[in-house]
Structure 1
Amino acid sequence: MSFIKDFYHCYHCKQEVSKLEDLLFVEAGSTRSFCGEKCIEDYFKPITDQFEAREKELRKKYAVETESCLDFLNDISVMEAVMTLPDEIWCLENGIQEEIFSFIKKIEHEGAAPFYAIVLCTIFDTYPGFVLLSTITESKFLMEEFRIGEQRDVSSHFEDDTHLEDNELGVTSSDVETIEKKKSELLAKHLENISIADIPVEKYELYDEYLATTMQNPDEVYKKDDEQGDTLYTYIKAYDKEGVSFYYFVICIRLDIDTSEGEEIIVPVFTFPSVDGDLYRLYHDGEQVSGPLKN
């Protein structure tokens, strides 16, 4: 064995990991990485337990130990909305520069009183990397307890994720709005088709590492114009993770931007993993422009 090579270890179990691409990260700007989802959950469990205990204390303080709106914690669309389109983002940094983020969104749901959806989390690529606590309340007093640290500008926060500077590609704020709107449309349609036995939405961010490889070397690519007239590309690639085979999907939108090289600008909008063969076949939609052609 030679010491003259890269080597990595899981931050929790200390098991050696041979390749960088096999590590899982849930925090931006941190070298803290893990060998699998179980180690991530086990590492953060003492913190999540502490936060849950603190929430119980605050609910008792404001006399909201039970609320009917808590049923919406099981509503995937509500939780996805607060994580991708929050009204407020707050960041608390401790003395060793560890950060905890708070995402807050007011939800008005048909047939229910308005309530606040709240997520405490780490951040990876501007979106929640690991959820430390999620809760829902109608109490403004309880919600205000989650306004921790300093407030971040929501628009500026997510602009960092686009990596598209106006002076580089000519992407405008209108284009960013188009991307966010399309993401919401794709997510809503996706939630109608996802199986309860498939990989849950809250685990999607743990598969973000597969985006680049899927875009660079897809097994299949499909192109179609949707009902709004937007051109979408669906990149699909099969993987194996810890003995489990799955597909990774990257759905992109083409932006109408003129470039000096005459190239198309294609931006990822919605990504997700799946072990569902029926869902895989459902996304075989449009003209196949890459990959093995089949009759």
Structure 2
Amino acid sequence: MDKAPNVTRNNGYARGSPSTPTSRVLLPVGELSSSQGAETVAQALARYEGGDIILTRVVAVPEQTPLELPDRMLRPHREALCESVDSLSDSGVDTSVKRVIRVGHRPPRIVAHTAADHDATTIVTRSPDTRPSLVPLRRSWPEWLQANTSSRLVVTHGAGELDHVSSILVAVAGGPHSGATVETARALAVDHDAWIDLLHIVKPDASDERQAQARQYLEESQQRLQGFDRHDTWLLEADDVVDAIAEQSAYYDVTALGGPRSGRLRRSIFGSTTSDVETSAESAVLTVWSEDTTP
């Protein structure tokens, strides 16, 4: 086992040493705890992209609490971090795992600072236990992270732990996150020898122009799977996008889709396909955000 993480401070946050591989996958544990599903995705991305995992113990303390925690308070977090590393090792992870403890006042900000300090290319975490339903216009912490970091963000939802992934449904559209969603699904499929179906939905009375646009979305997504033969495309006619995806999700181990594009006000009034699928899908769900604006 490698040595315990060194905890120092920088602008109110414990800081570790930056990693050097091209791909750096940040996996938070602790206040923004991971799940087995998040660990599975992080491992798949790190292996596929030839990078390492930055396993970060997030320690949030009250605003009035000094950040210079005594060793007796840090010791349980070091032990918990060691257990997390052991869990990754037991699951067969064969990539480099860097351990970091970060102390701050707000978990999302701690993760954002860690991602910036370590040039994380991807952040993988589970969905929050609660949503800010009482304040509809308030961003959830995944949305806050997406807006305040330059990393790809992958959030896992649902009860599925992704132990055995044999099939992945990827809902594609023309949004800025579709490319990253397909690439994330590809990494997971390669790691598990799984099948990918690229799905786009149009209404039964869609115009010829809309049908052509749908085929273009599928073709562009398929180009990101060049060299990966275990996939197919599917243009499905349905009146309700959310119901159609939720119904089909029952036949797959994982459903992947891009993060919401509409603003919080519009989502609070009209709803969001992404958010509705996250809560209604019958499989584990991956929601992917990216700074990449390529469809």
Which structure is larger by alpha-carbon Rg, 1 or 2? 1
TM-score bracket for this pair, using the shorter chain length: under 0.3
- What TM-score do you get using the length of structure 1 for normalisation? 0.25
Which structure's residues are more often strand, by fraction?
A: 1
State the structure with bigger RCO (CA 8 A, min sep 6), 1 or 2.
Answer: 2
